[in-house]
Amino acid sequence: MKIRLCVSLTLLFLLGQSHPALAAWGPFVSTGATTVNSDTSCAPTNAGQAICAARGFTNSMVVNQFNGSTWSGWAKLAGAITSAPSCASDGTGHAICAARATNSGMVATFFNGSTWSAEAKVKVTLSSGLSCATLGSGHVLCAGRSATGSLTSSVFNGSTWSAFDNQAATSTSGPGCGTDDAGRVVCAMLDTSSNIIVNRLGGLIGNKGSCAVIASNQIVCGVFGVTDSALWVNEFTGTQWTGFQRLGQTTVGNPSCTALGGGQVLCTVVGVNSKVSSIVGP
């Protein structure tokens, strides 16, 4: 598509430029021996800690916890899913991970800081995976593409999910959603002309990218390098971008980056062996 070609060409140009290095990142470490069949999705929980989820090769959701230095190891949750999961913080140290179920509905699990809930099932007919983002104060919104191409979304209020609400659209892709840190969520999709359409519910996407806020007006973004399949990162300091830095590791999918607090970010990537590695920095 035209947008992807433009983004890829822009990334090729940026990767070839000389830029000052970011602060030091730690080494890549294994998150466990489990193999996964999708990109990972991660969300912060308590300070310096995070959770991640992916689809396993048995089409179940697998989850992992990062305590700031080590991983708990991948655990399989009950139920089958047909998309990569999407995880988001609820703003209170807890997190939600949601995915499309085998009946095209939504299944979601809640992490309370130590354990995962049984999967909740929400009735809807999805034609894409989900994208979840925090609304703050214990609330999370998850959105997907409906069977008719509209943007459909449900809100978790801390205990229950709302019925899915439809926003009319003629989209050809699933949405990418992000919080605006003001109690609302922005979702972007592609329409039939490959243009980006945006709806503000109640953040922004880039092709093969994942960003995390590390401080006020400061962001770190991780991307998949189209020329070398490596993880590259760029930091916005509040006034300018420092430039892309190659962190390495041969990846086969999109990175997932999430803030840990204290000015640090956790990024996870799936390697050619279908196992997940993580890196913390800067």
**Same-domain check for residues 50 and 13:** no
Which amino acid is present at 165? D
Number of domains within the chain: 2
More confident residue, 281 or 6: 281
Q: CA geometry: angle at 278 spanning 175 and 227, to 5°?
A: 70
**Same-domain check for residues 194 and 217:** no
Most confident of 7-21, 29-43, 174-188: 29-43
Confidence tier at 21 by pLDDT (50, 70, 90): low
pTM equals: 0.72
**Same-domain check for residues 52 and 89:** yes
62-69 CB contacts, 8 Å cutoff, 24+ apart = 62/34, 62/36, 63/97, 63/109, 63/111, 63/116, 64/31, 64/32, 64/276, 66/31, 66/266, 66/278, 68/260
More confident residue, 93 or 216: 93
Last residue of a domain, one of 174, 205, 236: 205
Confidence tier at 166 by pLDDT (50, 70, 90): confident
In this prediction, residues 32-43 reach a mean pLDDT of: 96
Q: CA geometry: angle at 219 spanning 224 and 7, to 5°?
A: 35
**Same-domain check for residues 246 and 158:** no
Last residue of a domain, one of 205, 228, 246: 205
Q: Which residue is it, tokens 């003001």?
A: 182
Last residue of a domain, one of 205, 228, 253: 205
The model's pLDDT over 228-253, given as tens digits with 9 standing for 90+, comes to 788 888 888 888 778 888 898 888 87
More confident residue, 206 or 74: 74
Least confident of 58-67, 73-82, 83-92, 177-186: 177-186
Q: What pLDDT score was predicted for residue 207? A: 45
**Same-domain check for residues 118 and 237:** no
* Measured CA distances, 280 to 88, 166, 228, 269 (Å): 19, 38, 21, 12
The model's pLDDT over 169-220, given as tens digits with 9 standing for 90+, comes to 788 899 888 887 777 788 888 888 776 666 656 433 334 578 888 887 788 8
Is pLDDT above 80 for 13? Answer: no
**Same-domain check for residues 188 and 247:** no
Residue 229, C-beta contacts closer than 8 angstroms, at least 6 positions apart: 250, 251, 252
Query: How high does pLDDT run on average in the chain?
Result: 85
Q: What pLDDT score was predicted for residue 5? A: 34
**Same-domain check for residues 189 and 235:** no
User: Residue 3 is part of which domain span?
Assistant: 1-35+207-282
Which two structure tokens, joined as six digits, stand for 143?
A: 């959105």
Q: How far apart are CA 220 and CA 90, in angstroms?
A: 21
Confidence tier at 8 by pLDDT (50, 70, 90): very low
**Same-domain check for residues 22 and 156:** no
**Same-domain check for residues 59 and 159:** yes
Q: Would you say the C-alpha torsion 11, 13, 16, 22 has a positive or negative sign?
A: negative
**Which residue from 96, 121, 95 is spatially nearest to 107, judged by alpha carbons?**
121
Is pLDDT above 50 for 15? Answer: no
Is pLDDT above 90 for 68? Answer: yes
**36 has which bridge partners?**
56
**Same-domain check for residues 213 and 79:** no
**Same-domain check for residues 224 and 255:** yes
The CATH number given to whatever domain includes residue 117 is: 2.120.10.70
Run of H or E including 210: strand 209-215
More confident residue, 171 or 16: 171
**Same-domain check for residues 198 and 214:** no
The model's pLDDT over 114-143, given as tens digits with 9 standing for 90+, comes to 999 999 999 999 999 999 999 888 999 999
Is pLDDT above 70 for 3? Answer: no
